Amino acid sequence: MSEEMIRRKQHSIGLRLAVQEVLDKVDSADKKRQSFAGIPIQIGDFYVLTVLRLSRKVLRTHPALTPNRYYTDGRLLASSLGLAAVLRFHEECVKSLTEPEPGSGMLLRHRETDELLRAAGKLLMDTPAQALGISPATAKLFATYNTISSLRYEGAEGVGKMYLAKRRHPNLEEVFALTCPTPLTDYRAVRKLLEMTTSDVSLLADGENVYALGRPIGHYDPSREDLFVINFVTHYAWEFQHDGKVLMRTTYGNPSLPRARLNRSQFRKDLRRTFDLTAPEKVERLWDVVLEASRQKHGTLVVVTTEALAEADRLKLQCTLIEPVPLTPLITRLVTSIDGAVLVDPESYCYSIGVILDGKASGRGTSTRGARYNSAIRYVESSPYPCMAIVVSEDGMVDVITKESLAEEE
Amino acid sequence: MLSPLPLVSAPPVAPTMPLPAPGSQVIWAYQSRFQQAAQAIANGIFDTLDDDLAPDVLLMGIPVAEPDQQNEDVLAAVCLEPADCGLDFAHFGRVLARGQEFQLREPWGLILTVSR
């Protein structure tokens, strides 16, 4: 690198920091947006830079590691998938602005969104590599985990956890160790080892090798940021976690942010709007029921209606009537495990389970969603009483349907 | 034998250049197209991550200072694109001087010897 280039690079980085400082000040007064400055590039008589602004509130809802940490070479480490995407976006802009015809690459030959997101996922996985003392250039954790998760063992998909930490981490206990640690890049061998894991015994890896099977012990101090979990969820899908929070979920090699299955404040708003229900203990009880139902692996349907008893009686030939019982998380887990809807009143009393709902078909259904979702829409629309349906789909989506939400969609 | 197909071509179409918005600073011809392309890429990335992130891309210009130029009014940063970005550029009056301070403060020795 020539002296002139080094000087120019230093100047650009200094100027970016100065702009970022001003942007931070502006943002802290505004509170709605969070701005990220790119590297300034000289074009004509101006230093030109891109500024990306995102919703601060939404950005903060996603978990992140400690911000403003750096690689040993001074580059910023990505503390979340969002920030990794911001860094990749700016990289792309700088590359395009430094061309002889500034910006032309962005217009004609820009990288695909998926490609940029994968690059962001790779960048985020450099953060644990750095924490484990491995050079991010050689670690390639993102590609490694994609490959391992894609492999089947005797036809079965890989499910299990792998802890990533330096050997002899105080919060990890080895159940038994491998005499010859298996390199992570020996994908088939690692996939085979993954088959041995159970809900409480996982693989232990140091970022380069799997060295033992073990389990977490004691209380982990999250500020250490040196113990990460890779959770292989299903075929070709894995999650990157730290301190119980999912930082990234990767499906078929494409990273995404884990979405909250249910929004608590929105649910509370819906309850107030539909049933005029605000009593905190009743809202809490219903929230617990819905939360438990949303964990049902095969999906389920919960219908809350003011006339649950009358409806249970009307539909008695297509349901299983039960003695009215206030739903607790345990009972919820039991009653939602069978097919059909669960009828509940706003006090959380359940009257019937396995209900096959009826209703008149309307123009609101959608063939892209399943039978459960469409029958919930039909029922909510046709019901003369205030009611709300919570649809948990098998693929993990949770929809709360009320008459008001249907009307809003129109 | 088949007769050769007649050569038909579309009438020539002149590339249309977007007109710069009145009152905006023009540095190079494609700046507005560049901002639009960057916005489209940002939408693609961040809408995939979370629909509510609402990305917003601005193009900002900071005049290059002559070595002896000290007048801060002349050196104020400007918004290049979009013209109505809603950011108050009065705050950016001192960025060049502040940038220099950062430049002097950074531990460059370490960074530039390790970087590839």
pLDDT of residue A112: 87
A117 and B48 within 8 Å at the Cβ level: the answer is: yes
pLDDT of residue B76: 67
B12: left (phi over 0), alpha (psi -120 to 50) or beta: beta
pLDDT digits (tens, 9 = 90+) for A351-381: 999 999 888 887 777 787 888 888 999 999 8
Mean pLDDT on A235-262: 88
The gap between the terminal CA atoms of chain A, to the nearest Å, is 60
Touching B: A residues 18-57, CB under 8 Å = 18-19, 21-22, 25-26, 33, 37, 40, 42-55
Q: How far is Cα A183 from Cα A206, in angstroms, rounded to an integer?
A: 10
pLDDT of residue B116: 35
Higher-confidence position of A181 and B96: A181
DSSP for B41-70, please give it. Answer: HHHHHHHHH-GGG--EEEEEEEEPPPTT--
How many angstroms away from the CA of A255 is the closest CA of chain B?
A: 8
pLDDT digits (tens, 9 = 90+) for B48-66: 888 888 999 999 888 887 6
Please determine, for residue B113, whether its predicted confidence score (pLDDT) is greater than 50: no
Does A107 reach chain B within 8 Å, measured CB to CB? yes
Residues of B with Cβ-Cβ distance to A14 under 8 angstroms:
99-104, 106
- Judge residue A363's burial from the number of C-beta atoms within 10 Å of its C-beta, 0-12 exposed, 13-18 middle, 19 or more buried: exposed
Sheet with strand A202-205: strands edge to edge: A172-183, A209-216, A202-205, A160-164, A228-234, A237-242, A245-251, A254-256
Please determine, for residue A109, whether its predicted confidence score (pLDDT) is greater than 80: no
How many angstroms away from the CA of B6 is the closest CA of chain A?
A: 31
To test the contact with chain A by mutation, choose from B51, B95, B101, B110 the residue with the greatest count of A C-beta atoms within 10 A, namely B95
Please determine, for residue A196, whether its predicted confidence score (pLDDT) is greater than 90: yes
**Least confident segment among A22-26, B28-32, B75-79:** B75-79
The CATH class of A136-256 is alpha beta
Helix axes A141-150, A113-131, angle to 10 degrees: 110
Residues of A with Cβ-Cβ distance to B100 under 8 angstroms:
11, 14
Touching B: A residues 237-296, CB under 8 Å = 256-257, 259
HSE of A197 in the Cβ direction (CA atoms, 13 Å)? 27
B62 and A106 within 8 Å at the Cβ level: the answer is: no
- Closest by Cα among A362, A65, A121 to A257: A121
A31: left (phi over 0), alpha (psi -120 to 50) or beta: left
pLDDT of residue B110: 45
Helix (H, G, I), strand (E, B), or coil: what is residue A139? helix
A43 and B46 within 8 Å at the Cβ level: the answer is: no
> Residue A82: pLDDT band by 50, 70, 90 thresholds?
very high
Placement of tokens 């693609």 in the chain: B44
Buried b (16+ CB within 10 A) or exposed e, A204-233: bbbbbbbbbbbbbeeebeeeebbbbbbbbb
Helix (H, G, I), strand (E, B), or coil: what is residue A355? strand
Q: How far is Cα B65 from Cα A18, in angstroms, rounded to an integer?
A: 15
Q: How far is Cα A163 from Cα A241, in angstroms, rounded to an integer?
A: 10
What Å distances lie between residue B113 and A70, A266, B11, B58, B108, CA to CA? 15, 52, 56, 33, 8
Residues of B with Cβ-Cβ distance to A248 under 8 angstroms:
none
What Å distances lie between residue A249 and A203, A246, A394, CA to CA? 19, 7, 17
What is the percentage of chain B residues whose pLDDT exceeds 90?
A: 10
Pick from B46, B108, B115: CB nearest A54: B46
pLDDT digits (tens, 9 = 90+) for A42-61: 888 888 999 999 999 888 88
The predicted model scores a pTM of: 0.76
pLDDT digits (tens, 9 = 90+) for A270-320: 889 888 888 888 888 888 888 888 888 888 999 999 998 999 999 889 889
Task: Quote the Cα angle for A253-A255-A257, to 5°.
Answer: 155
pLDDT of residue A255: 94
| Residue A390 and residue A258 in contact, taking contact as beta carbons nearer than 8 Å | no
To test the contact with chain B by mutation, choose from A27, A48, A109 the residue with the greatest count of B C-beta atoms within 10 A, namely A48
Helix axes A113-131, B31-49, angle to 10 degrees: 60
How many angstroms away from the CA of A214 is the closest CA of chain B?
A: 33
pLDDT of residue B115: 38
**Least confident segment among A2-6, A224-228, A253-257:** A2-6
Residues of B with Cβ-Cβ distance to A59 under 8 angstroms:
53
What is the percentage of chain A residues whose pLDDT exceeds 90?
A: 45
Mean pLDDT on A26-37: 89
| Residue A307 and residue A314 in contact, taking contact as beta carbons nearer than 8 Å | no
pLDDT digits (tens, 9 = 90+) for A328-346: 989 998 998 888 999 999 9
B82: preceding bond cis by omega (within 30 degrees)? yes
Mean pLDDT on A179-202: 93
> Residue A9: pLDDT band by 50, 70, 90 thresholds?
confident
pLDDT digits (tens, 9 = 90+) for B13-54: 655 555 555 556 777 777 888 888 999 999 999 988 888 889
**Given this chain, do its domains A136-256 and A264-409 carry the same CATH topology?**
yes
To test the contact with chain B by mutation, choose from A2, A11, A19 the residue with the greatest count of B C-beta atoms within 10 A, namely A19
Task: Quote the Cα angle for B70-B76-B79, to 5°.
Answer: 155
Mean pLDDT on B83-94: 77
Length, in residues, of chain B: 116
pLDDT of residue A70: 79
Pick from B53, B87, B112: CB nearest A59: B53
Residues of A with Cβ-Cβ distance to B18 under 8 angstroms:
none
Q: What is the 8-class DSSP label of residue B5?
A: P
Q: Which helix (H) or strand (E) holds A97?
A: helix A81-97
| Residue A148 and residue A191 in contact, taking contact as beta carbons nearer than 8 Å | yes
Placement of tokens 């819906």 in the chain: A270
Residues 6+ apart with CB under 8 A from A74: B106, B107, B110, B111, B114, B115
A18 and B101 within 8 Å at the Cβ level: the answer is: yes
Helix ranges, A169-210 (H): 187-194
**Least confident segment among A5-14, A119-128, B46-55, B85-94:** B85-94
Helix (H, G, I), strand (E, B), or coil: what is residue A193? helix
pLDDT of residue B108: 59
Residues of B with Cβ-Cβ distance to A56 under 8 angstroms:
none
Q: How far is Cα A22 from Cα A35, in angstroms, rounded to an integer?
A: 10
Residues of B with Cβ-Cβ distance to A25 under 8 angstroms:
91
pLDDT digits (tens, 9 = 90+) for A381-409: 888 999 999 998 876 678 888 988 888 77
Q: What is the 8-class DSSP label of residue A340?
A: S
| In CATH, A264-409 is 3.40.1700.10 | yes
Placement of tokens 């994908």 in the chain: A187
Q: How far is Cα A2 from Cα B87, in angstroms, rounded to an integer?
A: 37
B53 and A54 within 8 Å at the Cβ level: the answer is: yes
Pick from B30, B49, B96: CB nearest A85: B49
Closest A-chain CA to B91: A22
| Residue A56 and residue A31 in contact, taking contact as beta carbons nearer than 8 Å | yes
What are the sequence ranges of the domains in chain A?
3-128, 136-256, 264-409
| Mean pLDDT over each residue of chain A, to the nearest integer | 88
Mean pLDDT on A225-234: 92
